[in-house]
């Protein structure tokens, strides 16, 4: 489980679906039995001491009406498409539950920036731009080959890496069926490799929870919820 500060106060934690029920039980032990209300993002837990926890529905899971069905939906196996793109590398896969039966990683050289000036700098910039465009074209072809045939059986598409690169790939008209499945979540990943793609499966399935402590416990903002 990871934790990071949230803009506007509080902190985000990412919880494995199998641990959500345990996490909620711990939240209730610390803050008192919470009430839960349905929100656009998922469920809001409000404890008697003023602490709140926003449970965001993970990609591909259906909307739910109560905590029990939220946990059941989060832990149920889902088929999720993965598209990771950054610089000259792309990784595409299909996750079925925690498994990754379909996967492919492709890399293409993209020249780094140069400190040269004048005509040489312009020439290198054009070459770099052409290399980047070719890499993104390869990414489109790879996504079309691996993901389009199963698009109607995917619960969601989760992207990661460089947002501009991902947006460019999914803007291709051939990938329109995939673009409509894209989840709001953008995974923060390094240059895609097989190990990065494997780790992305857990990140795509995790439940994101925004925790805000009661005002009297402001000093606990840095404590990691179990």
Measured between alpha carbons, how far is 122 from 118 in angstroms, rounded to an integer? 7
Q: In angstroms, what CA-CA distances link 172 with 52, 101, 137, 220?
A: 41, 25, 9, 46
Coil, strand or helix: which one is 117?
coil
Q: Is residue 174 within 8 Å of 151, Cβ to Cβ?
A: no
Chain segment 113-166, per-residue pLDDT in tens: 545 544 456 665 565 565 567 778 889 999 999 999 999 999 999 999 999 999
Sort 208 into a burial class: Cβ within 10 Å, 0-12 / 13-18 / 19+: middle
Helix (H) or strand (E) holding 43: strand 42-46
Chain segment 53-90, per-residue pLDDT in tens: 999 999 999 999 999 999 999 999 999 999 999 877 89
Measured between alpha carbons, how far is 38 from 67 in angstroms, rounded to an integer? 9
Higher confidence at residue 126 or residue 43?
A: 43
Q: What is the mean pLDDT of residues 196-215?
A: 95
For the chain, what is the mean pLDDT? 88
Least confident window among 116-125, 174-183, 198-207: 116-125
Q: For residue 225, is pLDDT > 70?
A: no
Architecture in CATH of 79-200: 2-Layer Sandwich (3.30)
pLDDT class of 223 with cuts at 50, 70, 90? very low
What is the structure's pLDDT at 87?
78
Q: Is residue 170 within 8 Å of 84, Cβ to Cβ?
A: no
**Percent of the chain predicted with pLDDT > 90:** 74
Coil, strand or helix: which one is 9?
coil
| In the chain, domain spans | 2-58+206-222, 79-200
């Amino acid at each position: 489980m990871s934790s990071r500060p949230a803009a506007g106060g509080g902190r985000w934690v990412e919880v494995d679906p199998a641990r959500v029920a345990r996490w909620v039980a711990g939240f209730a032990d610390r803050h008192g039995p919470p009430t839960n209300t349905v929100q656009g993002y998922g469920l809001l837990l409000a404890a008697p001491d003023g602490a709140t926890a926003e449970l965001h529905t993970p990609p591909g899971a259906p909307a739910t009406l109560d905590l029990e069905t939220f946990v059941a939906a989060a832990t149920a196996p889902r088929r999720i498409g993965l598209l990771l793109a950054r610089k000259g590398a792309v990784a595409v896969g299909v996750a079925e539950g925690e498994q990754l039966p379909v996967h492919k990683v492709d890399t293409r050289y993209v020249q780094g920036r140069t400190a040269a000036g004048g005509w040489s700098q312009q020439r290198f910039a054009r070459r770099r731009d052409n290399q980047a465009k070719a890499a993104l074209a390869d990414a489109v072809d790879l996504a079309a080959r691996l993901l389009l045939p199963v698009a109607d059986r995917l619960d969601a598409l989760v992207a990661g890496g460089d947002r501009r690169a991902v947006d460019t790939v999914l803007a291709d008209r051939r990938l329109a069926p995939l673009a409509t499945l894209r989840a709001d979540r953008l995974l923060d990943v390094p240059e895609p490799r097989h190990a990065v793609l494997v780790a992305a499966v857990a990140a795509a399935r995790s439940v994101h929870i925004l925790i805000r402590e009661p005002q009297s416990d402001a000093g606990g903002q840095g404590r990691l919820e179990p």
